[in-house]
Structure 1
């Protein structure tokens, strides 16, 4: 297998698919790489790999390493590799309890400030944990006010119940499923949908234009949040992409996937190169299908 652009070219597709641009000048989704997709490698490695593979940008997962929470370093990486930061994921995970302080509302505010500083238009945030009662009681208002003040889209992400043998725990308030909550904008994570036993295609119908951001990944329905590569699980990932495109989706598509199976940096690069190639081909197919239907 020959090498190009710092990674191994696919035997099936010797030339990488480029971003699909419709003839009518309308926009298509940007395809970005989450910095978490290279974990345990560094945020800098994610920028370097995104540049090599030709991603449209990065989603910054704040808290995976020290650099991700240092906005001066992130700006340097953005400028060095000429890879824009499309979106910022607030540090609201179990493993980021002290990143940017311990107040979850302050973390969200700082995430919006980071998005403004870095030139991003969107912040991803999880619903509050059930034990964050004060934050949860004003979460909807906080999201609305911050978005109004900053102009940043704050897209609340679907989560899942925590499950163990004989136990199902409601870990999020008021719910892990944002469908019936009054949030203006939502992020769909396909791995989370699989872990919840939900169907991503149903979320597309239920959410309509509220869906502003996609974590394109997959899951098998395990109690674990697997973040498989698209097409490896039960969420019909490529059908999700093509359905969104047919409905005029113009948000970001982010590869928030687990690549820890890769034994080497080249193997990880190949996994992500193939993932990016397939994603752009399905975008292209949907664009072409839409053009044919319009004739």
Structure 2
């Protein structure tokens, strides 16, 4: 059964511990742990304790592959993925979310597709490669910053993640991307965007990505992975405002992840 999870990044600058508190109080089904600069997010024992204390399972571990987490768990990228898989296994998660390599990580990128497949075989964990986007200063011009590319549907990955905010920057149709991926779509980051050059991570429904249509499409297509709310609440002026955005996102997901009227 598809779960609606909460990414711990959605509560930043509050901690991973706060993410579990919000998830439990609002009724989320699970938490995705973003391994980052929050020390708690790097400690498997702490994540297990938080999960058990709140009665909220961990559905995925997001490997530390962002620009600002380049030194978390060392600087060797394959080592980061191995540690992410180990954490996932110990906390009961079946998925590790990973970004494609940056262009300057040439050695890592050279064997990335084959290396991901090998890790899946050796660990039993699904590595769901996430869609990214061209980096652009304007709405029309962009530079390819990822290798082998930012669109996982163009590569033979066994598992992939669709992030609606990233798709907004790339001006990608997320329904078409989901169709290209078919049953390789394993994980969703539910959010939104307006198509600007910024990675906005809006509350779903507040942007222009057709998040409701996307959820209805994947529900009708038999998607059985997890849907994780990954929004930006940094501008919220209070805990109450952040909680309201998280509640709205959860309600949106539950309202629209359903087979459309007249569907099979």
Instruction: Tell me the TM-score range normalised by the shorter chain.
Output: over 0.9
1:59 and 2:35 equivalent?
Answer: no
Structure 1 distance, partners of 2:255, 2:151, is 30
Please name the residue that 1:188 is paired with: 162
What's 1:203 paired with?
177
1:168 Cα deviation from its structure 2 partner = 2.4
Q: Out of 29, 48, 67, which is 1:94 matched to?
A: 67
Secondary structure class of the residue paired with 2:192? coil
- The 2-side partners of 1:288 and 1:79 are apart by 36
Q: What pairs with 1:237-252 in structure 2 (closer than 5 Å)?
A: 237-252=211-226
1:74 counterpart = 2:47: yes
CA distance in 2, matches of 1:280, 1:158: 23
- In the TM superposition, what is the alpha-carbon distance from 1:261 to its structure 2 partner? 2.5
SS at match of 1:86: strand
2:241 aligned to which of 264, 267, 278: 267
CA RMSD of aligned residues (A): 1.4
Is the counterpart of residue 235 in structure 1 residue 209 in structure 2? yes
> Could you say which residue in structure 2 is the equivalent of 1:281?
255
- The list of structure 1 runs, each at least 4 consecutive aligned residues, that deviate by more than 3 angstroms after superposition, is none
Deviations 1:130-173 (A, max 9, x none): 00011111111211111111111111000001112596221101
C-alpha displacement of 1:288: 7.3
2:134 aligned partner:
161
Is 1:126 the equivalent of 2:99? yes
8 Å contact 1:36–1:64 — kept in the other structure?
Answer: no
| TM-score of the superposed pair, with normalisation by structure 2 | 0.96
Compared CA separation, residues 293 and 137, structure 1 to 2 (3 A) = closer
Conserved 8 A contact 2:204-2:252: no
Distance 1:167 1:245 in 2: 34
TM-score for both structures, normalised by structure 1: 0.86
Q: Which runs of 5+ in 1 are unaligned?
A: 1-26
Name which of structure 1's ranges 190-199 and 202-211 shifts more when overlaid on structure 2. Answer: 202-211
Partner of 1:212: 186
Superposed CA offset, 1:237-278 (max 9, x none): 011011101111110000011112311111111111121112
Q: What residue ranges of structure 2 are gaps of 5+ in the alignment?
A: none
Within 1, Cα distance between the matches of 2:263 and 2:101?
43
Q: Distance in 1 between matches of 2:40 and 2:124?
A: 25
Kept after mapping to 2: 8 A contact 1:39/1:64: no
| Equivalent-residue separation in structure 1 for 2:93 and 2:37 (angstroms) | 19
* 1:265/1:141 CA distance change after superposition, 3 Å: same
Residue pairs, 1:168-183, within 5 angstroms: 168-183=142-157
Structure 2 CA distance for aligned equivalents of residues 255 and 130 of structure 1:
28
